[in-house]
């Protein structure tokens, strides 16, 4: 891909592994360009014969600070939500396991991408969270995906508080599968030991079988939460105040309406 692309894409392990690397540090924002690059890479390689996995990671000290706040503003958020949710579904439906490697901050839309993967491996310094509530909005995709990884109560804690959790807490609540000093090496070792020896055809069927109810439910729920976000939330005074306050680097003044 061209150097100006926000995403690095290459094939590893003799054609068995698709590598995707967010390449716009340090923030690695999940904005329109990043979403389009990720979706395009998945579409391009979806039919690759012999593909047994995808490894998604990021350049720099942080996985992603999340989505572009500017793209959440009225007039732009509908396009952003539609494209991000289409990417989430493309990841959920990809016919090979998606391994996600996280270092540093993994927030907002960045965590929503990770949640759409099969397995999340983090560094000890990882911090994962959905801070949208601090801006007076909520996290649509995470509202659908988090309850599949953690308990309903824990999902609500993370979604309502907007707090981040460190690697140890994330492992304890089931948000991530593994912690490693070198999470990329750990994910590659898992791929080599457990996925590379398998039949790509069998893996594709196994992914479809395991994720069938998840994909069906998330597809339906994403449509519902998009409508809630656009038709109700974005018409509130506080949602617009929260976004404006963030961009102005000031504390929001809530009026609870």
| CATH code, domain with 143 | 3.90.226.10
**Residues 81 and 229 sit within 8 Å (Cβ to Cβ):** yes
In a domain, 19, yes or no: yes
In a domain, 104, yes or no: yes
* pTM recorded for the entire structure: 0.96
In a domain, 191, yes or no: no
pLDDT tens for each residue of 58-113: 999 999 999 988 887 888 899 999 999 999 999 999 999 999 999 999 999 999 99
> From CA 133, how far away is CA 139, in angstroms rounded?
8
In a domain, 207, yes or no: yes
In a domain, 97, yes or no: yes
**Which residue is listed with tokens 């995403």?**
7
| Number of domains making up the chain | 1
Peptide bond into 98 cis (omega under 30): no
What was the pLDDT predicted at 3? 53
In a domain, 187, yes or no: no
> From CA 136, how far away is CA 254, in angstroms rounded?
8
In a domain, 193, yes or no: no
Which range of residues forms the domain containing residue 15?
A: 1-182+201-257
pLDDT tens for each residue of 132-178: 999 999 999 999 999 999 999 999 999 999 999 999 999 999 999 99
pLDDT tens for each residue of 1-17: 445 899 999 999 999 99
Which H or E run includes 106?
strand 105-107
> From CA 58, how far away is CA 124, in angstroms rounded?
16
In a domain, 190, yes or no: no
């Amino acid at each position: 891909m061209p150097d100006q692309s926000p995403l690095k894409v290459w094939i590893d392990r003799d054609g068995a592994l698709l590598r995707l690397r967010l390449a716009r540090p340090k923030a690695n924002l999940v904005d329109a360009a990043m979403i389009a690059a990720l979706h395009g890479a998945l579409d391009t390689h979806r039919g690759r014969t012999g593909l047994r996995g995808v490894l998604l990671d990021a350049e720099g000290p942080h996985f992603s600070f999340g989505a572009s706040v500017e793209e959440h503003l009225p007039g732009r958020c509908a396009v952003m939500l539609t494209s991000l949710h289409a990417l989430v579904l493309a990841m959920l439906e990809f016919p090979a396991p998606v391994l996600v490697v996280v270092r540093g901050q993994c927030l907002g839309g960045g965590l929503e991408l990770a949640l759409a993967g099969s397995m999340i491996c983090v560094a000890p310094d990882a911090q994962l969270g959905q801070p949208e509530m601090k801006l007076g909005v909520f996290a649509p995709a995470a509202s659908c995906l988090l309850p599949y990884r953690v308990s309903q109560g824990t999902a609500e804690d993370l979604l309502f508080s907007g707090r981040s959790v460190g690697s140890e807490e994330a492992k304890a609540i089931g948000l991530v599968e593994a912690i490693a000093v070198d999470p990329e090496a750990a994910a590659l070792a898992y791929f080599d030991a457990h996925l590379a020896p398998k039949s790509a055809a069998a893996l594709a069927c196994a992914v479809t079988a395991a994720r069938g109810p998840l994909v069906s439910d998330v597809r339906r729920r994403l449509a519902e939460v998009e409508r809630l976000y656009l038709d109700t939330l974005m018409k509130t005074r506080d949602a617009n105040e929260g976004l404006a306050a963030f961009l102005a680097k000031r504390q929001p003044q809530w009026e609870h309406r």
